[in-house]
Structure 1
């Protein structure tokens, strides 16, 4: 399954640039949290006391209510693989188009369908804010969908991988839900491999047992506990990302691209020949994310300090007559 972030794919399409690839194929914060790892986190097994500190910091950062359970895992992808075994269902509706791993995880276990809206019955999966469109479902709408009867009391799985950018939309801990939280995207540390599940205590107990002892590494525990407790950094970064997203929108607009969605970490643009633009930017050392199911879509991550490099490449591409005109 194609994903962003693998520069081996970029190297197959274009020669590696002298100044290195600018990878904009993911929605990762270009300003990583200044992580520090105590030496003992590498030389001893992960400590229960430190895991508890991580979970306490996550509860506060994600506003998890006291009655809900929370489990840490080596990334939300690891949790996604376990969902069909934790919450068995005969039919699952994935609200999309969205992150393709959700449908792929359920496909061997249940009848899986994709829909534009939340279904009236059965188990549903929604990414909120959505990837790649950035669509945000109102919390009230999601809470209402989560009240219907469902297997194991879970009617709605909500992937809030980009939820740090829209905390007001989170429904972490709401009855009838299982909510996923990704650490690496907002904090710019995807290699740490850290994620969380939030839901009913009995379901979270089963997930914890399935993941087993020492599921999260000592370095991930220490980095996550420090970052999630750093409220000042979080608030400042949210403002900075919003400002940089606006600057990116201006550059994309000047290049004749139409922004049709996204978040403060990536923008989804529409153009007549997204594949052509994708290839042209690759020749300039810039890697973006295209979608086979949507040939007019291209996702472009936030470039941070490299915005002038992207602007120059887009200008060169435009002058080379690459078709970037918005379809009528």
Structure 2
């Protein structure tokens, strides 16, 4: 990273609405939080009067149990994006090329460019079959945002094995993995997994997450991590959330059933992709995306203009929320509920 690159690089666009009069379907965060989380956050005030423990052992144990890895492989970070930046900064030098899925989360390409690297864009459905040989880093978003594409464990493990042979670091962004019952790639040699508490636990402002890596890669990430990089409330609340197994199961089931109900209804008017994530990518066809977004807004609902994702020109993205809220989304899109 250098001064000129950081000065000249634009911000990647994101969803989320701060308008209190709008029901927000533009961001993919859980509208529910685990019972007791507010009390746990408030109880951490006294701990916030001293520096957090270093390393934060309880958070690492909770994260390790959450994704089934060794606690020593957990590197706490202030959100999943901080884990992504840490991995990219260690893997990418000036002139390096990086396999990046597109359409996908815009921050991958931005972080690569900040380090002087060049993104090589590959479709999400084919990136796990790509040749990693000439690249310093390969990025996979599982499930992918905004398409909802996911990858079975065998294909990801095979890609990870090819990356090891090629001496290419594999970064797997599992921001939405917790909404599925598929296993994490955490603890796989040569792989950095990035996880966030933002999406599943409905706490985007908490800024808590972690990376997982083993061997020399893990040692480098631990060495590069800033001391005290998570606050005492974030550590305590994050550890608590990751132990709420019933909440996780209930969220997965609600998202699964509501996602399929929404998709069946939306398909009566628009083309909509199947998804393994808490959102749906909707193709509005020859309608104006601006008009679809504006009409939904007039009806009290914020949806994401997905044309800001590379390669999409007629799409919006909608989150999956609670049943009654999802009915409001359907009404805003002009379709009947199912």
* TM tier, smaller: 0.7 to 0.9
Q: Kindly indicate whether the alpha-carbon contact (under 8 Å) linking 1:73 and 1:79 is maintained by their aligned counterparts in 2.
A: yes
Superposition deviation, residue 190 in structure 1: 1.1
Q: Kindly indicate whether the alpha-carbon contact (under 8 Å) linking 2:173 and 2:195 is maintained by their aligned counterparts in 1.
A: yes
Q: Please, what TM-score do these two structures have when normalized by structure 2?
A: 0.82
CA distance in 2, matches of 1:153, 1:33: 40
Match of 2:15 in 1: 4
- Equivalences for 1:125-144 in 2 at 5 Å? 125-144=139-158
Superposition deviation, residue 313 in structure 1: 2.2
Task: Identify unmatched segments of 5+ residues in structure 2.
Answer: 1-11
CA distance in 2, matches of 1:3, 1:69: 30
- Is 1:40 matched with 2:46? yes
Aligned-partner SS, 2:13: coil
Match of 1:12 in 2: none
Which of these residues, 58, 61, 74, is aligned with residue 63 of structure 2?
Answer: 58
CA distance in 2, matches of 1:210, 1:155: 16
Q: Which moved more, 1:269-278 or 1:80-89?
A: 80-89
Match of 1:29 in 2: 30
Q: Which moved more, 1:186-195 or 1:200-209?
A: 200-209
Aligned-partner SS, 1:161: coil
Which of these residues, 284, 294, 298, is aligned with residue 299 of structure 2?
Answer: 284
CA RMSD of aligned residues (A): 2.4
Which of these residues, 226, 233, 237, is aligned with residue 223 of structure 1?
Answer: 237
Superposition deviation, residue 43 in structure 1: 2.9
Match of 2:173 in 1: 159
CA distance in 2, matches of 1:150, 1:112: 20
Superposition deviation, residue 24 in structure 1: 0.7
Q: Please, what TM-score do these two structures have when normalized by structure 1?
A: 0.85
Which of these residues, 121, 128, 150, is aligned with residue 114 of structure 1?
Answer: 121
Q: Kindly indicate whether the alpha-carbon contact (under 8 Å) linking 1:71 and 1:197 is maintained by their aligned counterparts in 2.
A: yes
Match of 1:269 in 2: 282
Match of 1:296 in 2: 314
Q: Which moved more, 1:227-236 or 1:205-214?
A: 205-214
For these two proteins, the number of residue pairs brought into alignment is 304
CA distance in 2, matches of 1:42, 1:111: 41
Match of 2:77 in 1: 73
Superposition deviation, residue 264 in structure 1: 4.2
- Is 1:175 matched with 2:189? yes
CA distance in 1, matches of 2:333, 2:57: 47
CA distance in 1, matches of 2:210, 2:277: 21
CA distance in 1, matches of 2:71, 2:225: 22
Superposition deviation, residue 60 in structure 1: 0.8
Aligned-partner SS, 1:187: coil
Cα 1:3/1:67, change in 2 over 3 Å: closer
Which of these residues, 303, 306, 309, is aligned with residue 328 of structure 2?
Answer: 309
Match of 2:273 in 1: 260
Q: Kindly indicate whether the alpha-carbon contact (under 8 Å) linking 2:92 and 2:112 is maintained by their aligned counterparts in 1.
A: no
Q: Kindly indicate whether the alpha-carbon contact (under 8 Å) linking 1:71 and 1:207 is maintained by their aligned counterparts in 2.
A: yes
Aligned-partner SS, 2:246: helix
C-alpha distance after superposition, 1:68-94 (max 9, x if no partner):
711110011122223332113521111
C-alpha distance after superposition, 1:107-166 (max 9, x if no partner):
242222101223212331110110011111222222222223669955311111101122
